[in-house]
Structure 1
């Protein structure tokens, strides 16, 4: 009787741990490394300032993000970090799909953000030669 109880307890604990698999393993945010050459470029993400490069920024997984890098004397660099469904999201197949998938969808943890790192060689502004009269 005690063995049966222990067996079912272990099964229940395992089921609870894999419930909302991506939320537990992936979490709802992701670190993105941003570097530029030269460094000290302003980082603007979704219109908000995040300091200067190099930096590790923590972003919500639930949506895409627009990254803008600005440095005086250099062209502004703009790119997008996009969300892609994580392999951990499919781990919910082990617990009957629906409960874990719903939790992962609502928390945004069903996604990975790509690229995971941005390393940019900033281009100097091009100056036009003065026109002759």
Structure 2
């Protein structure tokens, strides 16, 4: 009789959990690097709420779900540094293998439809590592538009001539 009760309790518990909730986490570590380093990082979520602010390189723990039913999180990562182009990248949540395959193989219908979607463990954030190259900024005019000025070599000041690089024939 005790064995029957123990088996029934284990079966009930297994039906009330999802594979992703057992194996997965509610948060994920995301690493952000930039070239050049020491760029400003601003991470906002899908509601435009600031989640994290720092400089590169940085590592941050981000929630995978917003707490609603099937509510995966989406983040916007903005990198900026004076003298360089700003970069904006997205981090999005996607169902992971434990949610898709684990619940299918192990018959976790309750996990598939209720538990995993509510806990957020069913998601992985992608990408989990950002390596951004900011590149050099193009000169801007007073009105904020990009501009480039061409000059003859003869018009370049002497102190700047040694900083010039030959790019070859065009």
The normalised TM-score by structure 1 is 0.80
How many residue pairs end up in the alignment?
130
Distance 1:50 1:87 in 2: 31
Whether 2:64 is the aligned partner of 1:64: answer no
- Given that 2:18 and 2:110 are in contact with CA atoms closer than 8 Å, whether structure 1 keeps it comes out as no
Instruction: Please name the residue that 1:106 is paired with.
Output: 118
Go from structure 1 to structure 2 and tell me whether the alpha carbon gap of 1:54 and 1:17 turns closer, same or farther (over 3 Å shift): farther
Kindly indicate whether structure 1 or structure 2 has the higher relative contact order, using CA contacts under 8 Å at least 6 residues apart: 1
- Conserved? CA contact 2:15–2:111, under 8 Å: no
Measure the CA separation in 2 of the matches of 1:54 and 1:100.
Answer: 37
Q: CA RMSD in A?
A: 2.8
Return the alpha-carbon distance in structure 2 between the equivalents of residues 112 and 55 of structure 1: 19
- For structure 1, the residue ranges without an aligned partner over 5 or more in a row are none
Matched residue, 2:26: 28
Once the two structures are TM-superposed, the CA of residue 110 in structure 1 deviates from its matched residue by: 1.1
In 2, the alpha carbon distance for the partners of 1:18 and 1:35 equals: 40
Which among 69, 87, 92 is matched to residue 103 of structure 2?
92
Cα distance in 1, alignment partners of residues 130 and 108 from structure 2: 37
Which aligned segments of 4 or more residues in structure 1 are displaced greater than 4 angstroms?
none
Once the two structures are superposed, residues 66-95 of structure 1 have per-residue CA deviations (whole angstroms, 9 ceiling, x without a partner) of: 111111111110010111111111322325
1:130 CA displacement: 7.4
Deviates more, 1:53-62 or 1:100-109: 100-109
Aligned to 1:82: 92
Tell which structure's C-alpha radius of gyration is larger.
Answer: 2
* SS, match of residue 88 in structure 1: helix
Paired position in structure 1 for 2:158 = none
CA spacing shift, 1:17–1:28, aligned 2, 3 Å = farther
Shift of 1:6: 9.4
Contact persistence 1:39–1:54 (CA under 8 A): yes
